[in-house]
Amino acid sequence: MKTRGLTLIVSVLLAAVAAGAVFMYVRGVQEESRAEQERVPVIVAKQDIPPGSDLNTLISAGAFTTAEVPRTVLIRGVVTSLEQLQGQETSSPILAGEQISSARLRGEAELGGGVLGIPPNHKAVSLPLEAPRALGGVLRTGDHVSIYATFSEAAGVSARFQVDRDGGTASATGRVTAVSGMTVTVVPDVQVLQVAAPAGAGIGSSAEEAEELVVTMALEPRDAQRVIFAMERGEVWLGLISPSEVGKAERPVSFIEVAR
């Protein structure tokens, strides 16, 4: 009888645990569904707006309207009211119907960071890169990128990477020596301040057509040193980060790991 009673108690407990797990799963699905269904009003343009446009004039002309987008796809610094556009001008193109990021605006709000809108405690560093290394004509002001560097000969470089600690991960900064070839994450997340084509470079004067681009980014002073070192001693590539994500440092990859 005692054995039967114990078995019954264990069965009831297991059933309760299973029911709780199902409840939490259903609740999570419902919350995720509500987040996807929740829509947020944002300001969008009715027409394509070129760089350097006076937004006060466009506001008076009724060039903007309101659109509702799912909360899960909101971009960084999205403009949600016309007041955010007053006294501003565009620093990069705005397409009709797209969400407007405050990073594409230039005006009184960014005077503290100069014309480029440099964040506090950061340096603006310009890198001349071949178009494919800088995402061709896709990269825009306000985008966030990861900076990678490949070293094909013996060289020491400070880099950020992810390390395992007791089953989890943690970000760390260490000195890596590339002997037989290695690719490292120099800086995992950097804001792009400006993308331009150097005068006379490539087949055209626009960033979309140029074979070489000058990408200006906001870097913390120490990261600026790392990036400049990487440019001088290795090959630098940029990786575009989704607006809904944050760049993460990864463990360096060597030739041996690629060849496995």
Please answer whether residues 129 and 91 qualify as being in contact, where contact means their C-beta atoms are separated by less than 8 angstroms.
no
Burial 178-208 (b: 16+ CB within 10 A, else e): beeebbbbbbbbbbbbbbbbeeebbeeeebe
Each domain of the chain, given as residue ranges in start order, spans 39-113, 123-259
Per-residue pLDDT at 75: 83
Alpha helices in the chain (DSSP H): 2-37, 55-60, 221-233, 255-259
End-to-end CA distance of the chain: 60
Q: What is the mean pLDDT of each run of 10 residues along the chain (260 residues)?
A: 64 69 65 68 90 88 91 84 88 85 66 67 92 86 92 59 51 52 91 79 51 91 94 93 86 78
What per-residue confidence (pLDDT) applies to 147? 96
Residue 235 has a pLDDT of: 93
pTM greater than the 0.85 cutoff: no
pLDDT score, position 129: 93
Question: Which regions of the chain does DSSP assign to beta strands (E)?
Answer: 39-45, 64-70, 88-90, 105-107, 123-130, 144-151, 155-165, 168-178, 182-196, 212-219, 235-240, 253-254
Give CA–CA dist 226/123, Å, rounded: 13
88: β partners:
107
From the number of C-beta atoms within 10 Å of its C-beta (0-12, 13-18, 19+), residue 128 rates as middle
Q: What is the pLDDT of residue 223?
A: 95
Of 3.90.1200.10, 3.30.2350.10, 3.90.1210.10, 3.40.640.10, the CATH number of 39-113 is: 3.90.1210.10
Question: For residue 247, what are the CA distances in angstroms to 59, 101, 125, 160, 197?
Answer: 35, 18, 19, 11, 25
